[in-house]
A = this chain, B = another copy of it.
Amino acid sequence: MSAPLNVTVWNEFRHERHAGHEAGVVYPDGMHQTIAAFLNATGDIVAGTATLDEPEHGLTQDVLDATDVLIWWGHCAHHEVADAVVARVHQRVLDGMGLVVLHSGHFSKIFQRLMGTGCNLKWREAGENERLWVIERGHPIAEGLGEWIDLPHEEMYGEPFDIPAPDTLVFVSWFKGGEVFRSGACYHRGHGKVFYFRPGHETFPTYHNPEIQKVITNAVRWAAPLQNGPRMVFGNVQPLETL
Protein backbone atom coordinates (compact mmCIF):
# COMPACT_ATOMS: atom_id res chain seq x y z
CA MET A 1 0.00 0.00 0.00
CA SER A 2 3.12 2.03 0.12
CA ALA A 3 6.62 0.66 0.51
CA PRO A 4 7.57 -1.86 -2.17
CA LEU A 5 7.71 -5.55 -1.33
CA ASN A 6 11.24 -6.90 -1.19
CA VAL A 7 11.69 -10.33 -2.74
CA THR A 8 14.80 -12.48 -2.96
CA VAL A 9 14.71 -15.20 -5.61
CA TRP A 10 17.03 -18.03 -4.60
CA ASN A 11 18.19 -20.52 -7.19
CA GLU A 12 20.58 -23.43 -7.04
CA PHE A 13 21.72 -22.25 -10.50
CA ARG A 14 23.62 -25.35 -11.55
CA HIS A 15 21.59 -26.90 -14.36
CA GLU A 16 21.60 -23.67 -16.36
CA ARG A 17 25.39 -23.42 -16.24
CA HIS A 18 26.02 -27.05 -17.14
CA ALA A 19 27.42 -27.16 -20.69
CA GLY A 20 24.86 -28.41 -23.14
CA HIS A 21 22.06 -28.69 -20.61
CA GLU A 22 18.68 -27.73 -21.99
CA ALA A 23 18.07 -25.55 -18.93
CA GLY A 24 20.71 -23.12 -20.16
CA VAL A 25 18.85 -22.73 -23.41
CA VAL A 26 15.49 -22.08 -21.79
CA TYR A 27 16.89 -19.87 -19.01
CA PRO A 28 20.21 -18.47 -20.28
CA ASP A 29 20.65 -16.24 -17.20
CA GLY A 30 19.15 -18.73 -14.80
CA MET A 31 15.60 -19.22 -13.63
CA HIS A 32 16.12 -16.72 -10.81
CA GLN A 33 16.67 -13.92 -13.33
CA THR A 34 13.54 -14.84 -15.25
CA ILE A 35 11.50 -14.86 -12.06
CA ALA A 36 13.01 -11.67 -10.71
CA ALA A 37 12.35 -9.94 -14.02
CA PHE A 38 8.61 -10.55 -14.12
CA LEU A 39 8.29 -9.62 -10.44
CA ASN A 40 10.21 -6.38 -10.99
CA ALA A 41 7.93 -5.60 -13.90
CA THR A 42 4.98 -5.29 -11.51
CA GLY A 43 6.22 -1.93 -10.28
CA ASP A 44 5.57 -2.48 -6.58
CA ILE A 45 7.82 -5.49 -6.05
CA VAL A 46 11.60 -5.17 -5.88
CA ALA A 47 13.18 -8.55 -6.56
CA GLY A 48 16.83 -9.44 -6.13
CA THR A 49 18.53 -12.80 -6.46
CA ALA A 50 20.81 -15.15 -4.57
CA THR A 51 22.37 -18.45 -5.61
CA LEU A 52 23.98 -21.49 -4.07
CA ASP A 53 27.55 -20.74 -5.05
CA GLU A 54 27.65 -17.25 -3.57
CA PRO A 55 29.17 -16.88 -0.10
CA GLU A 56 26.61 -18.08 2.43
CA HIS A 57 24.52 -18.96 -0.64
CA GLY A 58 23.75 -15.25 -0.90
CA LEU A 59 21.52 -15.52 2.15
CA THR A 60 23.35 -13.57 4.83
CA GLN A 61 21.43 -12.41 7.84
CA ASP A 62 21.37 -8.92 6.35
CA VAL A 63 19.86 -10.15 3.11
CA LEU A 64 17.23 -12.18 4.92
CA ASP A 65 16.39 -9.34 7.29
CA ALA A 66 15.69 -7.16 4.27
CA THR A 67 13.63 -9.83 2.52
CA ASP A 68 9.84 -9.85 2.77
CA VAL A 69 9.36 -12.95 0.66
CA LEU A 70 11.94 -15.55 -0.33
CA ILE A 71 11.44 -17.74 -3.41
CA TRP A 72 13.28 -21.06 -3.50
CA TRP A 73 14.27 -23.27 -6.43
CA GLY A 74 16.67 -26.16 -5.84
CA HIS A 75 17.10 -29.66 -7.20
CA CYS A 76 20.34 -31.60 -7.47
CA ALA A 77 22.31 -29.90 -4.71
CA HIS A 78 19.94 -29.72 -1.74
CA HIS A 79 22.58 -31.39 0.40
CA GLU A 80 25.07 -28.61 -0.34
CA VAL A 81 22.94 -25.99 1.38
CA ALA A 82 24.60 -25.30 4.73
CA ASP A 83 22.59 -26.23 7.78
CA ALA A 84 23.36 -22.86 9.35
CA VAL A 85 21.74 -21.08 6.42
CA VAL A 86 18.73 -23.37 6.60
CA ALA A 87 18.35 -22.59 10.29
CA ARG A 88 18.58 -18.87 9.53
CA VAL A 89 15.90 -19.05 6.85
CA HIS A 90 13.71 -21.18 9.11
CA GLN A 91 13.87 -18.63 11.91
CA ARG A 92 13.08 -15.79 9.51
CA VAL A 93 9.97 -17.62 8.29
CA LEU A 94 8.79 -18.15 11.88
CA ASP A 95 9.42 -14.41 12.39
CA GLY A 96 7.23 -13.49 9.44
CA MET A 97 9.14 -13.72 6.16
CA GLY A 98 7.09 -15.33 3.41
CA LEU A 99 8.46 -18.36 1.56
CA VAL A 100 7.46 -19.59 -1.90
CA VAL A 101 8.90 -23.03 -2.65
CA LEU A 102 8.95 -24.05 -6.30
CA HIS A 103 8.90 -27.46 -7.95
CA SER A 104 11.86 -29.64 -6.92
CA GLY A 105 12.29 -27.41 -3.87
CA HIS A 106 9.90 -29.93 -2.28
CA PHE A 107 13.00 -31.87 -1.31
CA SER A 108 14.97 -28.89 0.01
CA LYS A 109 16.12 -28.92 3.62
CA ILE A 110 14.13 -25.79 4.40
CA PHE A 111 10.85 -27.20 3.09
CA GLN A 112 11.33 -30.54 4.86
CA ARG A 113 12.12 -28.69 8.07
CA LEU A 114 9.01 -26.54 7.84
CA MET A 115 6.76 -29.44 6.93
CA GLY A 116 8.11 -32.00 9.42
CA THR A 117 7.61 -34.81 6.90
CA GLY A 118 9.65 -36.47 4.17
CA CYS A 119 8.09 -34.45 1.32
CA ASN A 120 8.69 -37.33 -1.09
CA LEU A 121 6.54 -37.96 -4.17
CA LYS A 122 6.30 -39.85 -7.47
CA TRP A 123 7.85 -38.34 -10.59
CA ARG A 124 8.37 -38.97 -14.29
CA GLU A 125 10.29 -36.92 -16.82
CA ALA A 126 8.12 -37.43 -19.84
CA GLY A 127 7.28 -33.87 -20.76
CA GLU A 128 3.60 -34.64 -20.55
CA ASN A 129 0.58 -32.37 -20.28
CA GLU A 130 -0.11 -30.91 -16.79
CA ARG A 131 -3.37 -29.19 -16.01
CA LEU A 132 -3.60 -27.22 -12.76
CA TRP A 133 -7.19 -26.95 -11.56
CA VAL A 134 -8.19 -24.10 -9.24
CA ILE A 135 -9.76 -25.70 -6.17
CA GLU A 136 -10.28 -22.73 -3.81
CA ARG A 137 -11.64 -20.09 -6.10
CA GLY A 138 -11.86 -17.28 -3.56
CA HIS A 139 -8.20 -17.45 -2.59
CA PRO A 140 -6.01 -14.47 -3.53
CA ILE A 141 -3.40 -16.74 -5.11
CA ALA A 142 -6.04 -17.69 -7.72
CA GLU A 143 -6.85 -14.08 -8.56
CA GLY A 144 -7.16 -13.37 -12.25
CA LEU A 145 -6.93 -16.96 -13.39
CA GLY A 146 -9.39 -19.04 -15.31
CA GLU A 147 -10.58 -22.41 -14.06
CA TRP A 148 -7.32 -24.14 -14.91
CA ILE A 149 -3.84 -23.60 -16.30
CA ASP A 150 -2.59 -25.89 -19.05
CA LEU A 151 1.09 -26.64 -19.40
CA PRO A 152 1.74 -28.71 -22.51
CA HIS A 153 5.03 -30.17 -21.31
CA GLU A 154 6.09 -30.66 -17.72
CA GLU A 155 7.68 -33.21 -15.47
CA MET A 156 5.05 -35.28 -13.67
CA TYR A 157 4.79 -35.23 -9.86
CA GLY A 158 2.26 -37.64 -8.38
CA GLU A 159 0.62 -38.49 -5.08
CA PRO A 160 1.33 -39.61 -2.47
CA PHE A 161 3.01 -36.29 -1.70
CA ASP A 162 4.28 -36.69 1.83
CA ILE A 163 3.30 -33.29 3.25
CA PRO A 164 0.92 -32.23 6.00
CA ALA A 165 -2.56 -31.43 4.73
CA PRO A 166 -2.34 -27.80 3.60
CA ASP A 167 -4.13 -25.05 5.51
CA THR A 168 -5.54 -24.16 2.11
CA LEU A 169 -5.33 -26.28 -1.02
CA VAL A 170 -5.46 -23.89 -3.99
CA PHE A 171 -4.49 -26.11 -6.95
CA VAL A 172 -4.68 -29.79 -7.83
CA SER A 173 -2.83 -30.99 -10.93
CA TRP A 174 -3.94 -33.56 -13.47
CA PHE A 175 -1.29 -35.37 -15.51
CA LYS A 176 -1.94 -37.09 -18.77
CA GLY A 177 -0.19 -40.27 -17.60
CA GLY A 178 -2.76 -40.90 -14.87
CA GLU A 179 -1.66 -39.06 -11.72
CA VAL A 180 -2.94 -36.20 -9.58
CA PHE A 181 -0.97 -33.88 -7.30
CA ARG A 182 -1.65 -31.18 -4.70
CA SER A 183 0.20 -28.55 -6.67
CA GLY A 184 -0.60 -25.34 -4.80
CA ALA A 185 -0.53 -25.56 -1.00
CA CYS A 186 -0.65 -22.79 1.64
CA TYR A 187 0.67 -23.03 5.20
CA HIS A 188 0.97 -20.71 8.19
CA ARG A 189 4.13 -21.40 10.19
CA GLY A 190 4.81 -19.06 13.12
CA HIS A 191 4.32 -15.51 11.83
CA GLY A 192 5.24 -16.63 8.33
CA LYS A 193 3.32 -17.93 5.37
CA VAL A 194 4.56 -20.67 3.07
CA PHE A 195 3.31 -21.52 -0.43
CA TYR A 196 4.40 -24.59 -2.33
CA PHE A 197 3.88 -24.41 -6.10
CA ARG A 198 4.65 -27.45 -8.21
CA PRO A 199 5.46 -26.42 -11.80
CA GLY A 200 8.88 -25.51 -13.06
CA HIS A 201 11.09 -28.27 -14.38
CA GLU A 202 14.31 -26.66 -15.54
CA THR A 203 14.08 -27.81 -19.17
CA PHE A 204 10.62 -26.41 -19.86
CA PRO A 205 9.73 -22.74 -20.32
CA THR A 206 7.26 -22.81 -17.44
CA TYR A 207 8.46 -19.60 -15.79
CA HIS A 208 7.98 -17.77 -19.07
CA ASN A 209 4.27 -18.68 -18.97
CA PRO A 210 2.15 -15.61 -18.08
CA GLU A 211 -0.33 -17.58 -15.95
CA ILE A 212 2.45 -19.20 -13.94
CA GLN A 213 3.96 -15.74 -13.49
CA LYS A 214 0.58 -14.53 -12.28
CA VAL A 215 0.40 -17.28 -9.65
CA ILE A 216 3.90 -16.59 -8.36
CA THR A 217 3.19 -12.86 -8.21
CA ASN A 218 -0.07 -13.48 -6.35
CA ALA A 219 1.74 -15.83 -3.98
CA VAL A 220 4.35 -13.20 -3.18
CA ARG A 221 1.65 -10.70 -2.24
CA TRP A 222 -0.21 -13.29 -0.16
CA ALA A 223 2.96 -14.37 1.67
CA ALA A 224 4.09 -10.83 2.49
CA PRO A 225 4.60 -10.17 6.20
CA LEU A 226 2.04 -8.15 8.11
CA GLN A 227 2.84 -4.56 8.80
CA ASN A 228 3.46 -4.23 12.51
CA GLY A 229 2.28 -7.75 13.11
CA PRO A 230 1.75 -9.04 16.62
CA ARG A 231 4.90 -9.89 18.51
CA MET A 232 4.98 -13.28 20.19
CA VAL A 233 5.96 -13.24 23.84
CA PHE A 234 7.02 -16.62 25.13
CA GLY A 235 8.15 -17.90 28.48
CA ASN A 236 7.30 -17.35 32.10
CA VAL A 237 4.53 -14.79 32.57
CA GLN A 238 2.67 -13.26 35.46
CA PRO A 239 -1.09 -13.56 35.71
CA LEU A 240 -2.79 -10.87 33.67
CA GLU A 241 -4.82 -8.31 35.44
CA THR A 242 -8.39 -9.25 34.79
CA LEU A 243 -10.88 -6.47 34.46
Contacts and interface: CB of A to CB of B under 8 A. Distances in A.
Interface stretch (A9-17, A20-28, A170-178): A170-178
A147 B232 CA distance: 7
B188 A179 contact: no
A131 interface: yes
A158 B133 CA distance: 9
A76 to B, nearest CB: 15
- How many copies of this protein are present in the complex? 4
Contacts of A182: 135, 172
Contacts of A117: 94, 114, 189-190
Interface in A111-129: 113-118, 120-124, 126, 128-129
A138 B243 contact: no
Interface string A187-209: 11111110000000000000000
Interface of A: 1, 94, 96, 113-118, 120-124, 126, 128-129, 131, 133-140, 142-147, 150, 152-153, 158-160, 162, 164-165, 167-169, 172-180, 182, 187-193, 225-243
